[in-house]
Amino acid sequence: MSSLPASVIRVLRLLLPMLWLLFLTLPFPGGSVPVTPAPSPGRESVGIVGGCDVSGWRYPWQVSLRFYNMGLGLWQHECGGSLIHPQWVLTAAHCVEPEDLEACAFRVQVGQLRLYDHDQLHKVAEIIRHPKFNASLSAWGGADIALLRLEAPVMLSERVNLVSLPPASLRVPSRKMCWVTGWGDIADNSPLPAPYRLQEVEIPVVGNKECNRHYQNSSDSSDQVKADMLCAGSEGRDACQLDSGGPLVCRWNCTWFQVGIVSWGHQCGHRDFPGVYTRVTSYVPWICRHPLMPKRPTLPPQPRFQGPAGTHRASR
């Protein structure tokens, strides 16, 4: 390059980024398209801010919920989810709206670190939205939780496994450090770049009273963060677009328990607005009413969780 005229070098520097963008939009063998699809119109999916690539298979319960994009000609990542049974996925209700969408409109990808990498999609046989979820209020109305029954059970392995449900009585203390994962944006309007590797970030739980104070300052509502919601996040560390439905997990006594489902938030990684999650403990009885579900979530004795705030750190 040093032997070329300066004017030629300048032109090449201008052209190379455009050629690279053109390359990224070309279809690849096997139908995979390595681009980050934009959210479908009307879907308020809430990605990982301040995180890093997941190395190894530390989150084998993480799934990608797909919706077919006719323009791109592929099953597009729409939301996250978690495997709680070989045939059942836990996600957010707003991820499978509007209500008239049938189960056949969705696919689930399990055991994947990089989006669209050798997809082997599973068909969804049934969608069960929580009966108290209000489609007109969406995630902000609460009960933002849904179950997806797959047509057939998935084969469990090192890469594909289940996350544990907490007992309904579990209290998640403020400042407990937990982990959220997903393939969403890494900042507001900043999509996850190629090769679209699953991201993780450690975030502190924020008490509902404190969380509500933040959100009340930006709204006329007096109770935006409801009892069936849980807040977590800090400045520059948060979930974001296209992570909705994904799991917030905390570790107790060497076991990972899912305590939250990515639901909604104001901006991504803003210091005054923690991410808001569906509080899983509020819905364990409802989840366990369905056939094939685990009936007795287990955990060590409750006193283990009632120490001073901030003493329970997730060990990797």
Which residues belong to the active site?
Answer: 94, 144, 244
The number of residues making up the chain comes to 316
d(CA 80, CA 45): 10
Closest CA to 252 of 190, 189, 188, 170: 170
d(CA 63, CA 288): 20
Where are the strands (E) in 113-241, listed by range?
122-129, 146-150, 177-182, 199-206, 229-232, 238-239
Q: What are phi and psi of 107, to 5 degrees?
A: -135, 160
d(CA 3, CA 12): 14
Residue partners of 230: CB distance under 8 A and separation at least 6:
172, 205, 208, 248, 259, 260, 276, 277, 278, 279
Dihedral of the alpha carbons of 260, 298, 133, 89, in degrees to the nearest 10:
80
- Of the CA atoms within 13 Å of residue 129, those in its CB half-sphere come to 21
To which H or E segment does residue 12 belong?
Answer: helix 6-24
Distances (CA, A) of 296 to 62, 166, 247, 313: 22, 9, 20, 25
d(CA 176, CA 312): 6
